[in-house]
Amino acid sequence: MRPTAFLVVTAASMASIAAYTAHAAGQTDGKPAPIFVTQIPPGYRDFTLISVAHEEGKLNSLGAVLGNDVAVKAYRGGTLPCPDGTIIAALHYTHSPPEENDRIFGQAQSFVPGSPTNIQFMVKDSQKYAATGGWGFGHFGPDGKPGAEALLKTCFPCHAREKARNLVFTHYAP
Amino acid sequence: MRPTAFLVVTAASMASIAAYTAHAAGQTDGKPAPIFVTQIPPGYRDFTLISVAHEEGKLNSLGAVLGNDVAVKAYRGGTLPCPDGTIIAALHYTHSPPEENDRIFGQAQSFVPGSPTNIQFMVKDSQKYAATGGWGFGHFGPDGKPGAEALLKTCFPCHAREKARNLVFTHYAP
């Protein structure tokens, strides 16, 4: 099986990415077109598992990637580009060794979700998010507040590298 | 948040566990009572996310823990003991660094599910699995074949250590 790639959170952390200009490019009638997801999609915690991910380094993240019914149907059917209505949610936590597991094992070897760090979303709406490849990108802290615009501007340029998979890095885990 | 503990797979790998005698103890009318889950519960891949887990060491495992509706309702409501009908599924894969992520990052820091290694289940039926705390334990390889009895016999004695949480190690990730 081809390994699942997952870079949503990391895309946001890449400092070397060129400035993102779609915000200006997406302006219509003097009003900027929406490019970011500003509301947490309701019911996302009940979405279906797409995959899981572990990021080492500064992120030290353990996460799950979930999809709504449209997303999961597209994944399972190999549908590309992802249809409008697709929502992909990435739930991130610290990568934490629980003491209770260490006691059982006699050593630290087990890692589980610690504190939630953020939830990130990709929402497909080819009209609304035309300026960013049809995808709206969202980032919300554990308090539910959206991430800063400077952070969100880093999502699209990185995801745009995955043209062959309609800007989606995460593969489906069987 | 309290870290989520997850030991299903690891329980099966602990060599030091005392011999498990419930198989004999559960005999009724000359027929051994069932103590293992012998069929993969249908629809488990659509169950709801409970948590994720990363095991280092020999296991080198990245996994997801899913629950059916009964399980998730019990988790979210804090219901203990888990009601009959609860099914918990642990999907395990190798912990793999995908080359395509390394190219984006410039280094190996991202880990995703590689090949599936096994799927494990806990099924609550306080009558059927009375000899093992009301839980049936199951283990299936990527080919769908059940694990050896010697392996399955290691599940209950380890899970029995978690009496306060009705033998379930995994916590719910918010």
Locate B50 and state its tokens.
Answer: 């409970």
The pLDDT value given to residue B14: 35
**List of chain B residues whose C-beta atoms are within 8 Å of the C-beta of residue A5:** 98, 100-101, 110, 112
Query: Model confidence over B45-69: pLDDT tens digits?
Result: 999 999 999 999 888 999 999 999 9
Q: Mind telling me how many Å the CA of A86 is from chain B's nearest CA?
A: 17
Q: What residues pair up with A55 in beta bridges, in sequence order?
A: A61, B110
For residue B11, pLDDT over 90 is answered with no
The complex scores an ipTM of 0.83
Confidence grade of residue B20 (pLDDT, cut at 50, 70, 90) = very low
State how far the Cα of A125 lies from the Cα of A82, in Å rounded to an integer. Answer: 10
pTM for this predicted structure? 0.83
As assigned by CATH, the class of the A8-18+33-91+118-165 domain is alpha beta
Any B CB within 8 A of A32 CB: no
Q: What is the pLDDT of residues A8-30, one digit of tens each?
A: 444 333 333 332 333 333 444 55
The residues pairing with A3 across neighbouring beta strands, listed in sequence order, are: none
Q: Look at the domain B46-165 and name its fold.
A: Chalcone isomerase (3.50.70)
d(CA A23, CA A132): 9
Q: Kindly report the nearest CA distance between residue B65 and chain A, in angstroms.
A: 10
Q: Tell me, yes or no, if B120 comes closer than 8 A to chain A by beta carbon.
A: no
Do the Cβ atoms of B71 and B82 come closer than 8 Å?
yes
Query: How far does A121 lie from chain B, in Å, by closest CA?
Result: 16
Interface contact A168, partner B, CB < 8 A: no
Provide the pLDDT confidence category of residue A108 given band limits of 50, 70 and 90.
confident
Output the six-digit token pair for A156.
Answer: 């699209």
Q: For position A137, what pLDDT does the model report?
A: 98
Q: Which member of A47, A101, A113 has the closest CB to residue B52?
A: A113
